Structure 1
Amino acid sequence: MRVAVDGSLLSSSDRKELEFWSNDRGEGPDADLFENVIYKSRVMIAFRSLLDRLRIRPGERILELGAGHGWASIIAKSQVPDAYFVTTDLSHDAVRNSAKYETLIGAKIDEKWACSAVSLPFEDARFDLVFCFAAFHHFIIGSRYDAVLSEVHRVLKPGGRLVMLYEPSSPRFIYDRAKRRTERKRHFASVDEDVILLDRLESDAKGLGLDMKVEHHPEYQQRSSIAATVYYFVLSKIPRLQTMLPCTVNVTLTKPRCVRRNDRGPSRPRDDAAADRVTTR
């Protein structure tokens, strides 16, 4: 595992995440593997059902953002062993626990990094696919849509995709209420939460020349409560409500193969100072 975390870029929300992962709260470095698998079973099943959305092909280079213990990439690697998988998370405590899931699932991640999504330690145009599972809404806390998208745009190859799976979204008029509801669901973790505003995401994506496709995903069988199950069951039966109310979404942003005039994605080589911050653990 390599670490490239610039402390000067950490927000208060980032520091809360680091504290969460460093403590044994069912997710921490000393947590029992069986306990973690039981805790994550619902979301693991949800990810497995969405794996085909990634369209991973042998030989491709794949980057996962906000991977936590890395189980999503490990599951994907077990299905496409000839693809090259790189996992990242802000917390090195989270990343180093991926070995437990590698043993459990029977596949190994090719490269592991502890780093921030707003400062990725990779060269330009390295990846065919960047993906995250129920994680992008953490990166945007503090209105960092543009910062994260710019970095992803930089490391994607022309024609590459950013795929965000199982993300909470909300129309702008009900955003505050949706955000409070999401925060209440994880109040025990003492971390910040957010909800994606699709119009804001689309605006920043368009500014970078990224094409955006949204799939509303009112999956209801793996929800954490009866109320949530009923809510998403209703959304699944009345599709027009999916755009009018908070709803889980899958979003794909594609980097064009040809550079457009409004494509302002930076080409930012890694400077010597950033390289000096990289360590191996």
Structure 2
Amino acid sequence: MRLFSIGFEGYNLGLMDSVIKKMEDIRFQGFKIEERKAGNLLFINYIVNELENESLRQLRDVLKCRIADILSDFIVNDLQHRLVNKIIEDEYYYFETEDREQIKQEVLNAVFKGSGSQSLFGQFKQKWHGFVKQRILEHMDTHNELIVEGFIRFRLKDFMKELIETVDKMVEEVLIEREYNEFIKLLRYFVEIQEPKVREVHILVDDDKKYILLDDSMRVINNDILKELAREISDTEMTYDDLLISSLITIAPSKITIHGYEKIKNTELLNTINKVFKGKVVMSQEGLYPQN
């Protein structure tokens, strides 16, 4: 007598083998496992000899819960690589092949690099594991056959919708990071082709969170170009952080010392300065006072 049949599409053969191995620990309870091919599907059939109704019901409940455990793990974890891969192929077809493959690799690296439960995919898996298991149990209450891909397609539409949204967020992060890195390369190029207007720049943060720039003689840098940049703040959405970056690129110093850097709460600003002026930045906790 067949208790349950679990079907997989042919390309999931290796994953199906892992499911069979995970079922080994309850094989002793009186059923056997056979494999059967039907078209492009491969089925794992769980077959049992005739038992009394009570024993059969107990065995079926034990097997049902075990299959739900294994398949929910399988769908949320093992299949994720293939699902993410397909989403990127389907949703981002308009990218050039090379570009799409690079984006796919960066997203997959982010998914599987072990970034913990606080990552987008970590949160996604925590949220959905229990829901997926419950829906498998509900299906198996009334059916003795479950085809994994069809189950995902028709019974887990909201799961797939949120997975697509999660992939979209990851792709957006990847594209933003790529644009940022290209921007950093461009700024670094501007700095490298200029002659330093001041050999060393000292950066101070005043009580108004504005930046004061000193030259290597500890005098305030206050030339016409920086005055013009400062005036732009009132005319545009340019911030003091933007002004600082623009000023440093204009001056193109050989060395930058940031005094009292812990006062700068914008860590992204510090990262940008470090990347644009790679190897030229010194962080100091000591404060300084400009000379008159």
Structure 2 length-normalised TM:
0.20
Structure label with greater radius of gyration: 2
TM-score by length of 1: 0.21
